[in-house]
Structure 1
Amino acid sequence: MMKKLMMKEICKALNGKLILEKHESYIERVSTDSRSAMGGDLFFPLIGENHDAHKFIPMAIDGGCRDFVVSDSKGIMEHPLKQQLNVILVEDTTKALQNLASYYLSTFNIKKIGVTGSTGKTTTKDMLFYICNEKYKTARNVGNFNNHIGLPLTILGFEEGTEVGILEMGMSEFGEINLLADIVRPDIGIITNIGTSHIENLGSREGILKAKLEITNFFNKNNVLVVNEINDLLIKQNTQGEYKRLSVGNNGKSDFIISDITDRGEEGIAFTVEHKLETQRFELTIPGRHNAINGTLAVAAAMELGITMKEAAKGLAKMELTDKRLNIKGKNGVKVIDDTYNASPDSMKAGIDVLMAAKGIRKIAILADMLEMGKESPKYHSEVGEYAANQKVDLLIAVGDYAKYIAEAAKSIMGEKKVIYYSDKEKLMSEIRTMIQLGDIILVKGSRGMAMDQVVKKIME
């Protein structure tokens, strides 16, 4: 539960006007959902492209909510219970929500870390949470609460005494990270990598880099940027500025050097990190060699908060994954690597690596469309097909319109018999059980819009 805020304090922070005031009241939660708003909540009716939540104010009042921030006062001023309400009038409820989050953060003595990147940002954020939580009262956004609404709501849920806030920042357009960075004003920023996600909107990988670097827009010499310089675009000349830059890599040029990765398949990985004259071995129970990079980014940021590498290793060992990222399930002698949360060429290849390192008689990859890849989409899908074939998966099943390019590229290397293509997911789901044998391990991956979790469910029935 958030720290209690008084309505008059909120009104001042929002530069709003208190148009209804029953008596001084405290706010314990912030809500944007009229279905769950209740007494003690401050309800913000947000206006989106397709709806205006001001029309749901009566539902919130029926649920017991009595405190509101509105940009249209007409309906609420005509409500029969208006004498029981506190109402602040503002120009824009979404902007007001963001401004309140920024104000609320200013009431804490807190270190703030912003995490962005094309892939790996949620995993890196979760790793940081486990590390920092060993020493400090730490908060983070959960699920995909990483946009212009989810991030303010996350902040407004920080409990009293929170010492470290770890905030994942998502984006699909220029200016979105800038907005989030303006709300948070992070002390430390992390860029996990520059891939091809949202390239359709941003034009090129260089455009994606520029958008991610907006995380440094409010930095000065006291701020720190941590980057994965194994990524070809996150090199020194692209990422240095009027702030401290820390790099993670696998050669002597980086500040944090990763070596000796042991891949135990589904049981996780171990890796060594060298920083200055210190060396530390890390154990992770989550699979994927790429997580050595994510883990080291988290360690580098944590050390800026006074956490030692030894303490960081203790926290990382307790790490558990969020959502559908490389979640391994088993039933009836079959294992499924459920990585249906999102997809890009980098994360597809990382998923294939996990599949090939895992224990199983047959290695099957079920790969669906990667969305928002822009005009280069056929090329990126072909690359994934080639990669799967060269890693020698036993069977490749491609699903969706763009996935035909995965199938075509794989067939040219593996031959026709080891590749199956479905333009339609429903047809795959009706036939999938007939293809599976005891001892199979199956990777299921695709963009969230492809809803490949339905295929996982079908396999696990």
Structure 2
Amino acid sequence: MINKTAREINQILKGRLSGDLDINPMIERVAYDTRQIHLAHEVMFVALAGERRDGHNYIKKAYDAGVRAFLIHRNIDTSIFGGSIFIIVEDTLASLQILAAAHRQRFDVPVIGITGSNGKTIVKEWLYQILSSEKNIAKSPKSFNSQLGVPISVFTINEGSNMAIIEAGISRKNEMKSLEEIVKPTIGILTYVGAAHSEGFESKEEKLLEKLIFFKDASTVIFQNTELNLRCFNNLYPQKNRFTWSVNGEGDVVYNIEKIKAHKSTITINYNGERSNIKIPFIDDVYLHNAFTCISYLIWSGHQMEQIETMVSKLMPISMRLELKRGMFNSVLINDTYNSDINSIAIAFSAAKKEAAGRKMVLIVSEFAASTNHTISDYDTLIQLINDIDPAVFIGVGEEIRQLNGKLKASISTQFFHSTSSLLQGLDITIIRDSVVLLKGARKHSFEIIVDKLEQRAHESSLEINLSALKHNLELYQSKIHSGTGIMVMIKASAYGSGSIEVARILQQQGVEYLSVAYIDEGIDLRKAGITLPIMVMNSGMDFIERMVEYDLEPEIYAPKQLDNLLTYLSRNDEKIRAHLKLDTGMHRLGFTMDEVEMLIEKLKDNTSIQIVSIFSHLAGSGEALFDDYTNYQAAYFEKMAKTISTGLRINPMKHILNSSGIARFPQFQYEMVRLGIGLYGFDPSGFVLDLKTVMTLKARISRIKTITEGNTVGYDRRWKALRTSNIATISIGYADGLRRQAGNGKWQVLIHGSRVDIVGSICMDMTMVDVTDIPGVQEGDEVTIFGEVNRADKLAEVYQTIPYEVFTGISSRVKRTYIME
């Protein structure tokens, strides 16, 4: 809560006021995205300027949402926004950081500052889990650790806070100084420093030194005792206190991993000459190292070993992601069941509002976690948030949340249950029909049980689509195109197997200019799902013109007979349509040839029913340097054909010829639009676009583990023989799901507990066997990654002797799709 008036904020920022100077609203929070606005009368909208978007263009939208206070840095006509006050500064982001720094200075509380390459969010959330029963803790929401995210995090500190845990992340030199000035950590924690976000630094040492700036005013810094960590820390802070840990090495605390069994590790802790044994509910190296960081903090802060074991025994894996799943009765489930504090609820409500896009909304929300980190006013805020988002149905779980009964809008149908079990017994689940359902619950209420009941029953395997990674890839390509050039995103073949509707929604939110599908049915499904972006249909055929017009779809015109049919229908029915002309410049697939251009002009020159929106062609070899001469030939040929048509028809349509590979390799041919396909999903065939993130991860589960003695065989045709006594796991995926038989017999390795294991024997229709002999602690029900960030789909494509497109589109529809937003 900022708890400052607009004039007080202006004094801090040394800005200039404009607009209605008779008002002076109290500001409690900021918003930088109009889709995140709740309780608008308490909000100051911050107009941030990015590479492709400028928040000043959204001021009217924020005003229409009820906001009456604005932080801007451009000169605009403020008089048109009656009853509003504007604070004008030189740089809105820098001013937001100054405001956050002033907010931080108001509170004399311990602030744990966390930075590193990996593990920041997990360590922050685990410390919050551990300490929230002792203290009222403010913390960074989710992974808010950027130049924008850190100020937002600091604003969570309020009068009731007696500790804060704030994480900070950087990606280039000279970024940490501003974050340190905002947060001023009193205690520092450095997590693992590795390869992540290294592009902006010349060396790992340079990156580490930049991160250590965060601890300038910290009294003590806690970190793993590695040679590099110690050297850099001593160089920068020779007099500062440090508290170090190691595994089987040297440090203030030394950990030894004694035993791993059944998803638990037995750890020996050596501290101050004493040895203690505790059990940790993890066996994965990454989780163990993050747990060691948390335990080291607890030891440093004076907790006894018995307390520590109790605390860490309750730690649970962290999912800082929203999951979107297909629910029963044509519903969409948004699963955010990790925690339930007021800040995370506001974020989840924003996500639900965006996903709903006008559809019926159902909220299932628990009481806050049973700790001291919430107040009566938090429930008042929750009431306001619910009334603001205006769901059709609100379902509350827990005793405390019953205080909302009778305080929500009359239009909101309400139900309250004492517990999750009483909800499962008493809820009529048909209430979720055709709805977007948000489940937001404190961990103790086990809302995952509700998700399991409401989820559309499906195959045990799943294709996980990371919408945050997809958004990152889109922004990466957007940074590579010229100003004024639009992007048409290809979501044919169900968005390369990922699910076109969910992907289209995120693309619409991100403001892409066009979508393209292969067939009309795909376009109709998008329209029925509320997608309003222009949609080009590539294979529109000749028999579906009426439906094209009905659903405002734009056909690709690629053949004379198809054009004749379209003209005849439109003339007969007095209809109009927008369309795209496809030219054949060397792909020799669909499209008009040079010989057909004069005929094309003749047919269209007196036409009033078809508006040619774009002229385009397709490159045959843009990803291969071997074919660069041919690509240049195609582009020149395309320009000649397009100019002839445009001149002949006296039109000025958009032109586009570049696909994912061409965007980076041939920027001179970007024209008015480019087409983004496989690059959006994390693969650039040209190899020119770096830092793409993995979007799709195929997962299965272990159905059964058997011990096979030496000499026995596994699978059809006895293709694999055990050379030793082996543990063989059968996993829930086969060639009917899209894991081809070419991957069998040791040709591909899946990932279990972070370790690669061979597929043994032939892949069956519904099952596959893998050798887990060398993996400690593996159990039935464990997750198996078929392909993902580590064992990448392009490498599996090499095993198949094909391309990643075919790997993705070959995943069966019976494999359920799960969507996550980090």
TM-score strictly above 0.5: yes
Per-residue deviation, 1:423: 3.9
Contact preservation (8 Å) 2:220, 2:241: yes
**1:256 is the counterpart of 2:258:** no
Query: Which piece of structure 1 moves more, 309-318 or 391-400?
Result: 391-400
Residues 98-150 of structure 1: CA deviation (Å, up to 9, x unaligned): 11111111111221112122222221111111122131111222222110001
Question: Mind listing any 5+ residue stretches in structure 2 that lack a counterpart?
Answer: 323-337, 339-447, 470-681, 683-693, 706-727, 734-748, 760-769, 771-784
SS at match of 2:199: helix
Structure-1 separation of matches of 2:802 and 2:167: 35
SS at match of 1:248: strand
Alignment of 1:38-117 (within 5 A): 38-76=40-78, 78-81=79-82, 84-117=83-116
Q: Which residue of 2 aligns with 1:17?
A: 16
**1:118 is the counterpart of 2:117:** yes
Residues 287-345 of structure 1: CA deviation (Å, up to 9, x unaligned): 513322211212323444454444343333333313259x99998784779796889xx
Letter of the 2:267 counterpart: F
Residues 218-274 of structure 1: CA deviation (Å, up to 9, x unaligned): 23xx62111122x5532x223222311111102352111112354346x45443433
Per-residue deviation, 1:51: 1.8
Structure-2 separation of matches of 1:401 and 1:23: 56
Distance 1:363 1:277, change over 3 A: farther
Per-residue deviation, 1:420: 5.5
Per-residue deviation, 1:388: 10
> % of aligned pairs identical?
23
**1:297 is the counterpart of 2:293:** yes
Per-residue deviation, 1:215: 2.1
Structure-2 separation of matches of 1:47 and 1:121: 27
SS at match of 2:209: helix
Contact preservation (8 Å) 2:221, 2:243: yes
Contact preservation (8 Å) 2:222, 2:242: yes
Query: Whose Rg is larger?
Result: 2
Distance 1:53 1:239, change over 3 A: same
Contact preservation (8 Å) 2:114, 2:167: yes
Contact preservation (8 Å) 1:397, 1:422: no
Letter of the 1:63 counterpart: A
Structure-2 separation of matches of 1:390 and 1:318: 25
Structure-2 separation of matches of 1:398 and 1:420: 13
Structure-2 separation of matches of 1:305 and 1:386: 37
Per-residue deviation, 1:278: 4.8
Q: Which residue of 2 aligns with 1:413?
A: none
Distance 1:185 1:55, change over 3 A: same
Q: Which residue of 2 aligns with 1:431?
A: 810
Structure-2 separation of matches of 1:421 and 1:162: 58
Structure-2 separation of matches of 1:434 and 1:286: 33
Residues 327-380 of structure 1: CA deviation (Å, up to 9, x unaligned): 99998784779796889xxxx9xx9xxx99x97814799xxxxxxxxxxxxxxx
Structure-1 separation of matches of 2:790 and 2:287: 30
Structure-1 separation of matches of 2:274 and 2:319: 30
Alignment of 1:8-407 (within 5 A): 8-20=7-19, 21-37=21-37, 38-76=40-78, 78-81=79-82, 84-216=83-215, 218-219=216-217, 223-229=219-225, 231=226, 233-234=228-229, 236-240=230-234, 241=237, 242-251=239-248, 253-264=250-261, 267-286=263-282, 288-320=284-316, 321-323=318-320, 334=460, 361-362=729-730, 391-394=756-759, 403=792
Contact preservation (8 Å) 2:254, 2:271: yes
Contact preservation (8 Å) 1:115, 1:121: yes
Letter of the 2:23 counterpart: H
Letter of the 1:185 counterpart: K
Distance 1:422 1:164, change over 3 A: farther
Query: Which piece of structure 1 moves more, 282-291 or 386-395?
Result: 386-395
Distance 1:52 1:274, change over 3 A: same
Distance 1:364 1:42, change over 3 A: same
Distance 1:5 1:389, change over 3 A: closer
Question: Mind listing any 5+ residue stretches in structure 1 that lack a counterpart?
Answer: 366-383, 409-415, 437-454
- Count of aligned pairs: 391
Distance 1:67 1:140, change over 3 A: same
Q: Relative contact order: is structure 1 or structure 2 higher (C-alpha 8 Å, sep ≥ 6)?
A: 1
Structure-2 separation of matches of 1:305 and 1:237: 24
Structure-2 separation of matches of 1:268 and 1:52: 49
Contact preservation (8 Å) 1:364, 1:393: no
Structure-2 separation of matches of 1:421 and 1:315: 50
Distance 1:147 1:160, change over 3 A: same
Letter of the 1:299 counterpart: I
Contact preservation (8 Å) 1:257, 1:275: yes
Structure-2 separation of matches of 1:434 and 1:86: 53
Structure-1 separation of matches of 2:85 and 2:297: 42
What is the TM-score normalised by the length of structure 2?
0.42
Contact preservation (8 Å) 1:192, 1:297: yes
Distance 1:431 1:55, change over 3 A: closer
SS at match of 1:457: strand
Structure-2 separation of matches of 1:259 and 1:362: 33
Distance 1:176 1:87, change over 3 A: same
Structure-1 separation of matches of 2:240 and 2:465: 36
Structure-2 separation of matches of 1:388 and 1:91: 50
SS at match of 1:118: coil
Structure-2 separation of matches of 1:421 and 1:184: 52
Contact preservation (8 Å) 1:228, 1:247: yes
Letter of the 2:311 counterpart: G
